Structure 1
Amino acid sequence: MGRRASLFTALVAVLALTGCTQLVSGQGRSERPDVSKVSGLEITTGESGPKPGVPDADLQVENGDGGEMDRLAINTLADVEAYWAEQLPAKFDVEFAPVKRLVSYDSNGKGVDICRTNTAGVANAFYCSLDDSIAWDRGELLPMLDDAFGPMSVVTVLAHEMGHAVQYKLGDKGGVNQATPTIIKEQQADCYAGNFFRWVAEGKSEHFRISTGPGLNQVLATMFFIRDAAGTSAEKQGAHGSAFDRVSAFQFGFAGDPTRCAAIDEAEIKARITQQKFDAQDEDQGFGKGNLKVDDPRYLDLLEQSLKDAYAESGATPPTFTTEEDDCQDAAETSPASYCPATNSVSIDLPDLVKIGTPPKRGQKGGIGDFAAFAEIASRFALSIQKATGYSLEGPAAGLRTACLTGAWAGTTTENEARLRLSSGDLDEAVAELLADKSLIAADVNGTVVPSGFARVEAFRDGFFEGSGLCTRKYSG
């Protein structure tokens, strides 16, 4: 985050049009969700990955080695093609023709010439419209994804690449062409990947299964990993999107059908893409641009005032902040911040706050960043708003309301008069923290976290774009 000088100017203009920071009354645009479900599906915690005992698919692959990564890729592409063979005729009246070339290579070995490129040293997976091909690196990229996030991360990447093939095969019906900005194509492909994963979650995939709890959490973590670096402009050629934007597109696809993805166009991108370059006045205090020292009393005071401003229209009495240990009688202690209903106070554990708020250095473990730390405090402040308006502070509905209200506060940090300003990469920090097992951003007063990372991110996004009023309507429990 930054102080007043570090503002997303373009984002402010968009959010001002959508009225994202207003407390409004009336009926919401969405039906009240069942907090035990993810986009209508039960939250499950079973196994995710390849189904045991299922024969491998029989697809012709160039340069393959028959190893585990190639088998994983082949089974993925067979199932993704089966999905699109159903959906293109049903949704677009277009027959799906399988991709003409599938190419496996080892980026650490001898290169293969494909798409006018030699693959030596290219740790990547890609679709090439020049010869209608999909290629993947079995030597570096796929093993790294599998080791870090599990086999469904490989499925995520290849389903995204097949999304580009779908764009090519749809032509004008897909709403893209050679002149279409990269960010639109990439957001569509992420959305198409979400379509496919819905099909997998419904049990229709021959080779794969996924739980809607931990399984989807790993998929979203993969989207975070392959995000653009903070400070990358969405207008840059080759931009794929921030983690917040990529996860959003995936979720649109998971909740909708392929026509929703094809509808992603320049107008939608301008209205919701948050990825921006760093502002010229973003500060670097030794943690990288856009990160403040979270235990500095000046910034904690600015945060407290920022939260009071964000929820002023609620009429609730703001909680007091303390860095002293609070022996609360009616709620469990949580870290790095706790809310005590009895005393209407938020207590902050500064050492734990610093752990979250200090971003990791390259090649080292560490926390996440200042926005993640401040959002943890904001979530406890949001509980005081719920208490004042008569909502229960326990259970999954309280957790989702908390995430939504925290997102609403984040939306106010884009305003001209904001005491703290959103800077590039901040919303990605929110995604990282929301996907953490013990994230307070989507937890009730006792720190019980909503089990679905998908639902946590969705609720935060609701608040960010639609404001506080939607939070109490949609997540009323």
Structure 2
Amino acid sequence: MSTRQTFVSVVSVVSAVALLNCACGSSNVGSPTAFSASQESAPGVAGPQREQPPRTNDDMMVDMDTAVSVVNQFWAQHWGELFPGTYAAPDVVGLYDGGTQSAPTCAGEPLGAENAFYCIPQDFVAWDRALMTEGYAEGDAWVYLVIAHEWGHAIQSRIADELVTTGKELQADCLAGAALYGAASDGTLVFEEGDQKELAAGLVNLADELPWTATADHGDPFQRVDAFDVGRAGGVSACIPVTSPTG
């Protein structure tokens, strides 16, 4: 992925579905959460990929800044079409070093290493350096995935309780798919060919090695793939339960 507003395609092939699973955290302090993938190409697919030079820490920092900008822009632009009230972005603590004295706290508890969080009481998103670095080595899609998913938890805290599903992690996956593919439709994000392989490799290679990629607690890979694909295909409204009027 280039350093402009692009996102490597979070697409999976059927043969990889059974291998894909990951989790991250929305926190009070909180627990791991999840992400999934889809099977179709996105708008703006680029031509054949050229061999890319090794990714650097500077590249990762640029991609993280771009991901924050793209995801926030999507929600700011479309909030009024989807929900009442005015959109306000969460604070972005961003990169931190888990397991150190400098780690930020949520509700008085330090954020853990190799994880990412939306802190509910303090309304911020943050991601651990080790998590981002290890995933980024597999492909630059990683940082977009993590950030869009955590932003999904921030969105859950901004909408009515009845619009948040009991499976919050899968809904966050769905919202991530809606935001990233919605940004592609808006023209603020450009998908590149071959990106699904990077993402699949990252999720498979890091499965159960990091808290954010733990496979145990948040639905099976098919559910996660399904949830992300619902958001990709149907947009934000497809992620929100239909409620009946009362009274």
TM-score class, shorter-chain normalisation, is 0.5 to 0.7
Check conservation: 1:194, 1:250, Cα contact below 8 A: yes
Partners of 1:161 and 1:141 lie apart in 2 by: 13
Q: Look up the equivalent residue of 1:246 and give its one-letter code.
A: R
Does residue 172 of the first structure (1) align with residue 161 of the second (2)? yes
How far has the Cα of 1:103 moved from its partner? 3.8
Farther-moved stretch of structure 1 (220-229 vs 190-199): 220-229
Max Rg structure: 1
Provide structure 1 residue ranges, at least 5 long, that are not aligned to the other structure: 1-36, 49-65, 233-238, 266-477
Match of 1:80 among 68, 71, 85: 71
Q: Look up the equivalent residue of 1:110 and give its one-letter code.
A: Q
Q: 1:40–1:204: structure 2 CA closer, same or farther, 3 Å change rule?
A: closer
Q: 1:109–1:67: structure 2 CA closer, same or farther, 3 Å change rule?
A: farther
> Equivalent residue of 1:252, what SS?
helix
Check conservation: 2:64, 2:144, Cα contact below 8 A: yes
> Equivalent residue of 1:210, what SS?
strand
Does residue 135 of the first structure (1) align with residue 126 of the second (2)? yes
Q: Which residue of 2 aligns with 1:110?
A: 101
Q: Look up the equivalent residue of 1:125 and give its one-letter code.
A: A
Partners of 1:242 and 1:222 lie apart in 2 by: 17
Match of 2:191 among 207, 210, 214: 210
Partners of 2:199 and 2:76 lie apart in 1 by: 23
How far has the Cα of 1:106 moved from its partner? 1.6
Q: Look up the equivalent residue of 1:130 and give its one-letter code.
A: P
Q: Which residue of 1 aligns with 2:12?
A: none
Check conservation: 2:93, 2:125, Cα contact below 8 A: yes
Partners of 2:240 and 2:140 lie apart in 1 by: 27
Q: Look up the equivalent residue of 1:258 and give its one-letter code.
A: V
How far has the Cα of 1:82 moved from its partner? 0.4
Partners of 1:68 and 1:222 lie apart in 2 by: 17
Does residue 154 of the first structure (1) align with residue 143 of the second (2)? yes
Q: Which residue of 2 aligns with 1:197?
A: 180
Q: Look up the equivalent residue of 1:154 and give its one-letter code.
A: V
Q: 1:110–1:209: structure 2 CA closer, same or farther, 3 Å change rule?
A: farther
Partners of 1:221 and 1:91 lie apart in 2 by: 34
Check conservation: 1:104, 1:135, Cα contact below 8 A: yes
Does residue 122 of the first structure (1) align with residue 113 of the second (2)? yes
Q: 1:42–1:75: structure 2 CA closer, same or farther, 3 Å change rule?
A: closer
Q: How many corresponding residue pairs? A: 192
Higher relative contact order by CA 8 Å / sep ≥ 6: 1 or 2?
2
Partners of 2:241 and 2:48 lie apart in 1 by: 33
Partners of 1:74 and 1:123 lie apart in 2 by: 19
Q: Look up the equivalent residue of 1:218 and give its one-letter code.
A: E
Q: What is the TM-score when the length of structure 1 is the normalising length?
A: 0.36
Q: Which residue of 2 aligns with 1:396?
A: none
Check conservation: 1:192, 1:258, Cα contact below 8 A: yes
Q: 1:43–1:77: structure 2 CA closer, same or farther, 3 Å change rule?
A: closer
Check conservation: 2:118, 2:154, Cα contact below 8 A: yes
Q: 1:222–1:166: structure 2 CA closer, same or farther, 3 Å change rule?
A: farther
> Equivalent residue of 2:117, what SS?
strand
**Superposition pairs of residues 337-376 of structure 1, within 5 angstroms:** none
Q: 1:82–1:46: structure 2 CA closer, same or farther, 3 Å change rule?
A: farther
Q: Look up the equivalent residue of 1:78 and give its one-letter code.
A: S
Q: Which residue of 2 aligns with 1:404?
A: none
How far has the Cα of 1:173 moved from its partner? 5.7
**Superposition pairs of residues 9-24 of structure 1, within 5 angstroms:** none
Q: 1:156–1:264: structure 2 CA closer, same or farther, 3 Å change rule?
A: farther
Provide structure 2 residue ranges, at least 5 long, that are not aligned to the other structure: 1-38, 51-56
